[in-house]
C-alpha cells in the first residue's frame, strides 16, 4: 500500500532513487543537494539497492563517470547544486550530445560570488543550452514524482536525453511535507527495466562514441540532436498522463491555475508557484480575475503551447528567479516573449526578477504584482518591463534616474 | 557495417554522433597534415623496432620482424617525428615535404 510520510524534498528524491534502483550513482556532495546522495549512500551501504556507488573527487569527475557508465549501458543517477553543476559544465554538453539518459537531480542554488547557499535558478538556467531536459518541481511531492517520470522520459527510445529534475534549494529540499510514497513494485513497474540502445559493452556491435568530429560531419550530428526535442516534449506529456493513470497525479507541460477565465496572470517556476496560488485565491475572493501558469517543463521549451495558454490575457508577469547579466531580461521572460511574438500573440508582459540568493517572496509581494498587472492591463503596456521585486531600492518617486536601471 | 559517405544527410546517421563501424580510421587520409616526412636509412637501421612500437598511427610497416626494406605508410603518417626521436641510431631523418619531389608524395 502507498504510504503517506513526512519527508524533506531531498529525502523524497533519495526515496525515489531507492525505488528505481539505478545501476550507477557517481556523486560529489554540495549544499543543498548533499542529503540526496548521503541518504542514498546509506541505502547502498545497507544493501537496499544494487547500485554501484562511486565516490569521486569533483563534480566534473562525477558527471564524467555518470556519462561513461551510461555509455557502457547503465541506468545512472546523480545530484548536485550551483557550483557543482557549474563544474560539470563541459560534461553536461557531452552527456546530451552522446544521447545518454542520465538523471540528475539539481537542488537549485545561487551561483557565486558572493558565496550563497540558498535558492535561485541561476545554476540550471545557465545550463539551459546544454541539451538536457529540465523539469521544475513546486513541492516535495512533485520532486518525488518528477524523478520517477524523468527516468521514463529520458529513456524513451526516440528521446534518449539526460534529464535535470529541479527542486528549490532549502525551500523544497529541506522542507518537510506529507509525501505519498508509492509502492516499490509500482514504481519499478512504472520505470520498467532499462534497455540501452547502443551499450558500449555490446562487444558484438562495436562503435565509437565522442570522436573528433570536424566541419565535415559535426553540423549534421547537431542537426540530428535538434530533432530529439520535439519527441522529448511529447514524452513529457505522455509520461505525465501515464503517471496520472497509475498513481492519480497527472502532469503536463505546465499547470494552469485559475487561468482559463483570468485577465491577469503570473508565469513562474518552482516553489513560488505555491505561494502564488494563495495570492490568486485572495484576489479571486475580491473579484480580481487573477491566474497562474506554473511552468514545469523549461527544456524543451513548450513555446506554442504557452503562447496558446497566455493568449487572451490582458497582462502577464513573468517571474525569473535567475540573473541573466547583460540580457534584456530574465531567461524565462526572454523565452516567453519570444514564444508570444512568434505565435503572433500580443499580450503586455512584465518581467519580475525575484528571490535571488534565497530572498523570500511573500504573498503580499505577489499580490502587488497582480495589482501592477491590473494597471498594465488598463494602460495596455508596462511603464517599465523589467522590475526587481523584494530588493531594497529607491522608490520611483524618490529617484527616477536610479529607477531606470 | 555502415559506412557514411561524405555527403550523408543528417537523418541518415546514427544519433549521438557515433561511428557504428569498427576500425574505420584506416580510411582517413592524414597525409595532408604532414610538413616533414620520416626518411629512414636502412643501411644504418639495426631493426630494434622502436619506431614501429612508438608510432601512434601504426604507419611503420614491418614484415617478419624487420622494418628494413619496408616502406612507411604515408597515408597515415602525420609527420609527428616520434619515430625519429626514439631511434637510438639516429637513422630516421625528418625531411621537409617541400624538399621532396611531388612524385615521392604518392
Q: Is A326 helix (H, G, I), strand (E, B) or coil?
A: coil
Rounded mean pLDDT of A349-353?
Answer: 98
Answer yes or no: do B17 and A217 touch at CB < 8 A: yes
For residue A269, pLDDT beyond 60:
yes
Nearest partner of B49 among B84, B79, B93, B87, judged by Cα: B87
Residue-wise pLDDT tens digits, A109-124? 999 999 999 999 999 9
B56 touches chain A (CB under 8 A): no
Nearest partner of A95 among A108, A80, A110, A107, judged by Cα: A80
Query: Are the folds of A3-247 and A254-403 the same?
Result: yes
Nearest partner of A81 among A111, A114, A115, judged by Cα: A111
Q: What is the pLDDT of residue A404?
A: 55
Are A166 and A134 a contacting pair, CB within 8 Å?
yes
DSSP state, residue A100: -
Alpha carbons A239 and A255: distance in angstroms, whole number? 15
Cell of residue A25, nine digits: 550513482
Phi, psi of B66, deg, nearest 5: -140, 135
Chain A residues within an 8 Å CB radius of B16? 97-99, 160, 198, 209, 221
- Cβ neighbors of A346 (< 8 A, separation 6 or more) are A340
Name the CATH code of domain A254-403 (choices 3.40.50.720, 3.40.50.920, 1.10.10.10, 3.40.630.10): 3.40.50.920
Alpha-helical (H) ranges within chain B are 50-54, 82-86
Closest Cβ–Cβ partner in A207, A210, A228 for B20: A207
B11 touches chain A (CB under 8 A): yes
Are A315 and A272 a contacting pair, CB within 8 Å?
no
User: CB burial class (10 A; 0-12, 13-18, 19+) of residue A55?
Assistant: middle
Alpha carbons A150 and A194: distance in angstroms, whole number? 13
Distance between A272 CA and the closest CA of chain B, angstroms: 36
Q: Is B50 helix (H, G, I), strand (E, B) or coil?
A: helix
Q: What is the pLDDT of residue B23?
A: 82
Task: Quote helix, strand, coil % in chain B, to nearest 5.
Answer: 25, 15, 60
Q: Is A279 helix (H, G, I), strand (E, B) or coil?
A: helix
B32 touches chain A (CB under 8 A): no
Q: What is the mean pLDDT of chain A?
A: 96
Answer yes or no: do A160 and B21 touch at CB < 8 A: no
Least confident range from A15-24, A203-212, A337-346, B4-13: namely B4-13
Are A309 and A318 a contacting pair, CB within 8 Å?
no
Alpha carbons B41 and B27: distance in angstroms, whole number? 28
Only one residue has cell 554538453, namely A93
Q: What is the pLDDT of residue B106?
A: 45
**Percent over 90 (pLDDT), chain A:** 95
Q: What is the pLDDT of residue B25?
A: 82
The continuous run of DSSP H or E covering A87 comes out as helix A82-87
A97 touches chain B (CB under 8 A): yes
Selected for mutation to probe chain A from B16, B24, B25, B30 (highest A CB count within 10 Å) is B16
Query: Helices A229-247 and A140-155, interaxial angle, to 10°?
Result: 130
Number of A:B CB contacts under 8 A? 56
Q: Is the dihedral of CA A185, A141, A130, A118 positive or negative?
A: negative
Task: Assign residue B27 a region (left: φ > 0; alpha: ψ between -120 and 50; beta: otherwise).
Answer: alpha
Q: What is the pLDDT of residue A156?
A: 97
The pLDDT-based confidence of A140 (bands split at 50, 70, 90) is: very high
Answer yes or no: do B17 and A98 touch at CB < 8 A: yes
Q: Structural domain boundaries of chain B?
A: 31-97
For residue A195, pLDDT beyond 90:
yes
- Cβ neighbors of A92 (< 8 A, separation 6 or more) are A63, A85, A127, A130, A131, A132, A162
Q: What is the pLDDT of residue A401?
A: 65
A397 touches chain B (CB under 8 A): no
Other CB atoms within 10 A of residue A281 CB: 13
Which residue on chain A is closest to B1 by alpha carbon?
A205
Closest Cβ–Cβ partner in B6, B21, B22 for A216: B6
Closest Cβ–Cβ partner in A198, A227, A228 for B18: A198
Rounded mean pLDDT of A99-113?
Answer: 98
User: CB burial class (10 A; 0-12, 13-18, 19+) of residue B30?
Assistant: middle
Closest Cβ–Cβ partner in A205, A208, A221 for B13: A221
Stronger pLDDT, A383 or A67, i.e. the higher one:
A67
CA atoms within 13 A on the CB side of A220: 19
Alpha carbons A100 and A86: distance in angstroms, whole number? 19
Which pTM value belongs to this model?
0.92
Rounded mean pLDDT of A227-245?
Answer: 98
For residue A35, pLDDT beyond 90:
yes
Residue A167 pairs with which residues in a beta bridge? A107
Integer angstrom CA distances of residue A199 from A15, A120, A207, A283, B16 = 27, 36, 9, 54, 12
Only one residue has cell 511574438, namely A341
Rounded mean pLDDT of A238-264?
Answer: 98
Q: A3-247 belongs to which homologous superfamily?
A: Thiamin diphosphate (ThDP)-binding fold, Pyr/PP domains (3.40.50.970)
B31-97 placed in CATH 3.40.190.80:
no
List, for chain B, all residue ranges whose pLDDT scores fall below the cut of 50.
1, 105-106
Are A177 and A10 a contacting pair, CB within 8 Å?
no
A207 touches chain B (CB under 8 A): yes
Q: What is the CA radius of gyration of chain B?
A: 17
Q: Is the dihedral of CA A34, A176, A318, A303 positive or negative?
A: positive
B16 touches chain A (CB under 8 A): yes
Residue-wise pLDDT tens digits, A147-190? 999 999 999 999 999 999 999 999 999 999 999 999 999 999 99
Nearest partner of A372 among A393, A390, A387, judged by Cα: A387
Q: Structural domain boundaries of chain A?
A: 3-247, 254-403
Amino acid at each position: 500500500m502507498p504510504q503517506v510520510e513526512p519527508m524533506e524534498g531531498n529525502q523524497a528524491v533519495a526515496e525515489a532513487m531507492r525505488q528505481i534502483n539505478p545501476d550507477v550513482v557517481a556523486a560529489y556532495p554540495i549544499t543543498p543537494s548533499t542529503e540526496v546522495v548521503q541518504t542514498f549512500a546509506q541505502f547502498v551501504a545497507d544493501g537496499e539497492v544494487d547500485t554501484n556507488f562511486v565516490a569521486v573527487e569533483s563534480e566534473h569527475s562525477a558527471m564524467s563517470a555518470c556519462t561513461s557508465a551510461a555509455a557502457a549501458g547503465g541506468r545512472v543517477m546523480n545530484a548536485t547544486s550551483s557550483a557543482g553543476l557549474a563544474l560539470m559544465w563541459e560534461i553536461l554538453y557531452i552527456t546530451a550530445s552522446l544521447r545518454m539518459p542520465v538523471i540528475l537531480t539539481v537542488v537549485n542554488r545561487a551561483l557565486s560570488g558572493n558565496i550563497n547557499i540558498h535558492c535561485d535558478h541561476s545554476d540550471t538556467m545557465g545550463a539551459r543550452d546544454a541539451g538536457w531536459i529540465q523539469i521544475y518541481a513546486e513541492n516535495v511531492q512533485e520532486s518525488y514524482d518528477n524523478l520517477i517520470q524523468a527516468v521514463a522520459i529520458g529513456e524513451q527510445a526516440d528521446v534518449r536525453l539526460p534529464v535535470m529534475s529541479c527542486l528549490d534549494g532549502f525551500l523544497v529540499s529541506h522542507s518537510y511535507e506529507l509525501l505519498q510514497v508509492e509502492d516499490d513494485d509500482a514504481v519499478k513497474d512504472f520505470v520498467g527495466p532499462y534497455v540501452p540502445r547502443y551499450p558500449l559493452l555490446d562487444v558484438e556491435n562495436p562503435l565509437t562514441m565522442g570522436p573528433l568530429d570536424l566541419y565535415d560531419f559535426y553540423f549534421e550530428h547537431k542537426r540530428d540532436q535538434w530533432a530529439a526535442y520535439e519527441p522529448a516534449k511529447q514524452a513529457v506529456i505522455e509520461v505525465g498522463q501515464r503517471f496520472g493513470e497509475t498513481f492519480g497525479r497527472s502532469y503536463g507541460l505546465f499547470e494552469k491555475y485559475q487561468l482559463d477565465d483570468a485577465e491577469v496572470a503570473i508565469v513562474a517556476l518552482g516553489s513560488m508557484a505555491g505561494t502564488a496560488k494563495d495570492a490568486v485565491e485572495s484576489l479571486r475572493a475580491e473579484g480580481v480575475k487573477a491566474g497562474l501558469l506554473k511552468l514545469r517543463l523549461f527544456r524543451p521549451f513548450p513555446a506554442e503551447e504557452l503562447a496558446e495558454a497566455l493568449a487572451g490575457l490582458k497582462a502577464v508577469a513573468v517571474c525569473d528567479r535567475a540573473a541573466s547579466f547583460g540580457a534584456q531580461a530574465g531567461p524565462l521572460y526572454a523565452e516567453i516573449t519570444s514564444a508570444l511574438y512568434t505565435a503572433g500573440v500580443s499580450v503586455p508582459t512584465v518581467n519580475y526578477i525575484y528571490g535571488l540568493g534565497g530572498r523570500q517572496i511573500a504573498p503580499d509581494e505577489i499580490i502587488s504584482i497582480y495589482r501592477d498587472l491590473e494597471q498594465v492591463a488598463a494602460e495596455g503596456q508596462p511603464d517599465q518591463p523589467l522590475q526587481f521585486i523584494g530588493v531594497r531600492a529607491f522608490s520611483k518617486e524618490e529617484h527616477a534616474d536610479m529607477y531606470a536601471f | 557495417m555502415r559506412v557514411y559517405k561524405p555527403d550523408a544527410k543528417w537523418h541518415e546517421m546514427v544519433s549521438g554522433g557515433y561511428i557504428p563501424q569498427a576500425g574505420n580510421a584506416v580510411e582517413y587520409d592524414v597525409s595532408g597534415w604532414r610538413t616533414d616526412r620520416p626518411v629512414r636509412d636502412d643501411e644504418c637501421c639495426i631493426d630494434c623496432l622502436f619506431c614501429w612500437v612508438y608510432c601512434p598511427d601504426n604507419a611503420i610497416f614491418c614484415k617478419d620482424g624487420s622494418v628494413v626494406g619496408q616502406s612507411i605508410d604515408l597515408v597515415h603518417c602525420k609527420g609527428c617525428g616520434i619515430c625519429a626521436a626514439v631511434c637510438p641510431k639516429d637513422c630516421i631523418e625528418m625531411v621537409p615535404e617541400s624538399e621532396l619531389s611531388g612524385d615521392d608524395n604518392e
